[in-house]
Amino acid sequence: MKLIKTYRNKKILVLGLGKSGFAVSQLLLKLDAVITLNDQADLSHNAKAAALTKAGVTVIGGHHPVEILAAEHFDYLVKNPGISYDNPMVKAALALKIPVLTEPQIALACSEAPYVCVTGSNGKTTTVMLTQQILEAHLAKSGHHAYAVGNIGVPISEVVPKATRDDVLVVEISSFQLLGVTDIKPKVAAIVDIYHNVHLDYHKTFDNYVQAKLNVTRFQTADQYFLANYDQKDILKQELALTKAKVLTFSEQDQQADYFVGNEFLASQSDQIMKIDDVKLPGMHNLQNSLIAIAISQLMGADKADIVHVLSTFAGAEHRLQYVMTLAGRKVYNDSKSTNIEAAGVAIPAFKAPEVWIAGGLDRGFVFDELVPLIKAHVKAAVLYGEARYLLADACRKAGVKTIVIEDTLQAAVPAAYGLSEPGDVLLFSPACASWDQFRTFEERGEYFVNFVKELKTK
């Protein structure tokens, strides 16, 4: 790793002792920073807090001591990306003109390994995993590695110390993380897509959300590459006006793009890369994800054979249209990452077989009318649960779904949906809602769903 001098002897407040807070604190220690860590939770019996204290970090738990910001004259605040800018510590830092960063800014500045960054409203995790698998196959031939890091669940700071200049970091980076970066310069950056009504509770306006996403390419230079969605014309216009990188486009439907979904092949302007029927992951959106992974991998030197092998065998990321099992002739898919209408909108049309759809979760006040045509075309029965169940039921009624079952919980919804299905059907869990009415995270929700399905298998 690069032992940069930016943070040497600087007083830094790390806000939040999650995975990234712990990892970035360890990294900053290697960079000779003077660190204070604060978390609102009680840290008196926290093993990570104890380890940091032993290493020389001042750890403060149980409350947010706002007064410390002015008293200690911090040079930087590094916050957990999930912590809102309305947090009193963050607001106080901004008022004192203390730069507020997120972990990727520090970690990527230290990376000896080249890195690529992928962001977007939907599809970024699958794209990152496909890209990492292809580049791993490519680099393994010379004894090197591609690491999937960032918002995917592995802090960048955790991997940077061991990644060499011959390795590659494939970074999933969220809008929350991107708000706190000031000059990241990925060798290749990609924005999969940008949709309305995503994270507006955090960003407040759609333009704020777009501007955060654009940070992935904002600081790139002319010798780097940016991959843009050719089908989202309004966003594309902003991207082209902003970026200094070389732009390549991808499209689900327009063969004028640099990479596109053709009639039979995933293709570029110079090559038919592989047959669409050979791509393992279902759905048009996964063809788009595959195009981006192809483009990044080719720009990073991967061989066509590695691309074809991975795309024809990769069965999906957990909780993202993940194939679970075939149960008495029904194919079961876990799409718990479907936390918004747009995500469900790409999952529902992913299959040709009739679907029994399980959906529901937190009621954010949205109606689901834009899903009506897709529900009408693909869903034979729906089982709906949680706070948003009646709003979802209204959309299903408008779509003409004859069998609509209302349940309180996901645990009750799973056997009810199985009972409505027949051999040859798809049992699709794509909630279209956040998980927070009944579960802490979409990952927890997906794990419960898989366990409920397994319980069906034992009955």
**pLDDT tens digits, residue range 371-418?**
999 999 999 999 999 999 999 999 999 999 999 999 999 999 999 999
> At 203, is the pLDDT very low, low, confident or very high (cuts 50, 70, 90)?
confident
Gap between the Cα atoms of 175 and 192, Å rounded: 12
* Each residue's pLDDT tens digit, 28-64: 999 999 999 999 999 999 999 999 999 999 999 999 9
State the pLDDT at residue 317.
77
* Each residue's pLDDT tens digit, 147-162: 999 998 899 999 999 9
State the pLDDT at residue 421.
97
> At 198, is the pLDDT very low, low, confident or very high (cuts 50, 70, 90)?
confident
How would you label 92-126 residue by residue, b for 16+ Cβ within 10 Å and e otherwise?
A: bbeeeebebbbbbbbbbbbbebebbbbbbbbbbbb
Contact 300, 169 (CB under 8 A): no
Please state the rounded mean pLDDT for residues 123-129.
Answer: 92
Contact 379, 397 (CB under 8 A): no
Q: How many CB atoms lie within 10 A of CB 225?
A: 21
Query: First-to-last CA distance in the chain?
Result: 53
Contact 320, 314 (CB under 8 A): no
> Among residues 438, 368, 445, which one has the least CA distance to residue 409?
438
- Which domains are assigned to the chain? 11-101 (3.40.50.720), 105-311 (3.40.1190.10), 322-458 (3.90.190.20)
Strands 76-79 and 271-275: unpaired
Q: What DSSP state is assigned to residue 283?
A: S
Gap between the Cα atoms of 87 and 312, Å rounded: 45
Across the strands, what pairs with 267? 260, 272
Q: How many CA atoms lie within 13 A of 391 on its CB side?
A: 19
Q: How many CB atoms lie within 10 A of CB 267?
A: 21
State the pLDDT at residue 366.
86
Please state the rounded mean pLDDT for residues 437-445.
Answer: 95
Our CA dihedral for 251, 252, 253, 256, rounded to 10 degrees, sits at: 20
Contact 170, 146 (CB under 8 A): yes
3-state SS class at 112: coil
Q: How many CA atoms lie within 13 A of 374 on its CB side?
A: 19
Q: What DSSP state is assigned to residue 277?
A: G
State the pLDDT at residue 458.
75
The pTM of this model reads 0.82
Gap between the Cα atoms of 40 and 320, Å rounded: 32
Please state the rounded mean pLDDT for residues 358-367.
Answer: 93
> Among residues 2, 67, 69, which one has the least CA distance to residue 31?
2
Gap between the Cα atoms of 315 and 224, Å rounded: 31
Find the angle CA(212)-CA(261)-CA(296) to the nearest 5 degrees.
50
State the pLDDT at residue 459.
65
